Amino acid sequence: MIDIHNHILPGVDDGAQTIEDSIAMARAAVEDGIHTIIATPHHQNGRYINARQEVLPLVENLNNHLENHNIPLNVLPGQESRIHGEMIEGLKETVILPLNDKENGYVFVEFPSNHAPRYAKQMLFDIQVAGYQPIIVHPERNTQLIQEPDLLLEMVEKGTYTQVTAASVIGRFGKKIKKFTHQLIESNLTHLIASDAHNTTSRGFCMSEAFDEVEKEFGPEIVDLFLENSEAVVSGEALMSDQPQPVKKKKLLGIFG
């Protein structure tokens, strides 16, 4: 498997704090069946700034450590950018790092946890005009999108992709978020599953468990779609997606019952 979202780089955000933590996470990833990781430290989220030129040498250094420890895991560069008004300038100035540092590749866009900014739709459009493909990370954990799923539908219909968290699929963020995550899968409103792992304890990988859940609920074809889309992100190729549908209102109301 390929994990396109996690916080394995040491000492740069709220993920791994030391190189020993990173090595422990790498071992856990391999044990979960992961062979390639895109390291995506937080960028411009109010606490952390991890610009492209800072991330690249850290990834190279981590790969050297993994090789020295004979851990069969390849780490690629990436970044989890909080949405902000200067994202286009950041892309032009190569401060923002597309996933796997692909020219005109995929760019993670993180919303605040409780809302989608009013300028979000315009920014997602501008990112596409600039030649990149935006991916909204963990929309299933955004309070406003849970309450207004048609807003996410509108964004997806206009070319934005989304990535849900493996832990959300299996209920580690609670039953409400699990239900909404499954609704997003059912409605073709998400295209990727990733770990968003921060450590080996409270925020681990659980990718294989999540895909087992997806296969049980939605079938092996959907698992294959998610797996192939992760490969496409790494290579910079087009993601596969089915026609997005509105979240069924009756089921959505059931979340809050």
The pTM assigned to this predicted structure is: 0.95
Domain that holds residue 143: 2-255
Per-residue pLDDT of the chain in tens (257 residues, 90 and over written 9): 999 999 999 999 999 999 999 999 999 999 999 999 999 999 998 899 999 999 999 999 999 999 999 999 999 999 999 999 999 999 999 999 999 999 999 999 999 999 999 999 999 999 999 999 999 999 999 999 999 999 999 999 999 999 999 999 999 999 999 999 999 999 999 999 999 999 999 999 999 999 999 999 999 999 999 999 999 999 999 999 999 999 986 544 444 44
Closest CA to 120 of 172, 158, 64: 158
Separation of alpha carbons 129 and 149, rounded Å: 24
- The label of the residue with tokens 């920014």 reads 123
End-to-end CA distance of the chain: 36
Q: What CATH number is attached to the domain comprising 175?
A: 3.20.20.140
Q: List b or e across 204-224, with b for residues whose CB sees 16 or more CB atoms inside 10 angstroms.
A: bbbbebbbebbeeeeeeebbe
Amino acid at the residue 250:
K
Q: How many domains does the chain have?
A: 1
